[in-house]
Amino acid sequence: MTRIEQAIKALEELPETQQEEVADLILTYVANNDTAPSALTDEQWAEVRRRQARGFKPADPARLDQIIDRLK
pLDDT at 6: 92
pLDDT at 43: 93
DSSP sequence for 47-72:
HHHHHHHH------HHHHHHHHHHH-
pLDDT at 34: 62
Over residues 10-42, the pLDDT tens digits come to: 999 999 989 999 998 888 888 777 666 678 888
CA–CA distance, 14 with 7 (Å, rounded to integer): 11
Q: With contact defined as beta carbons under 8 Å apart, do 45 and 38 qualify?
A: yes
Q: pTM of the prediction?
A: 0.43
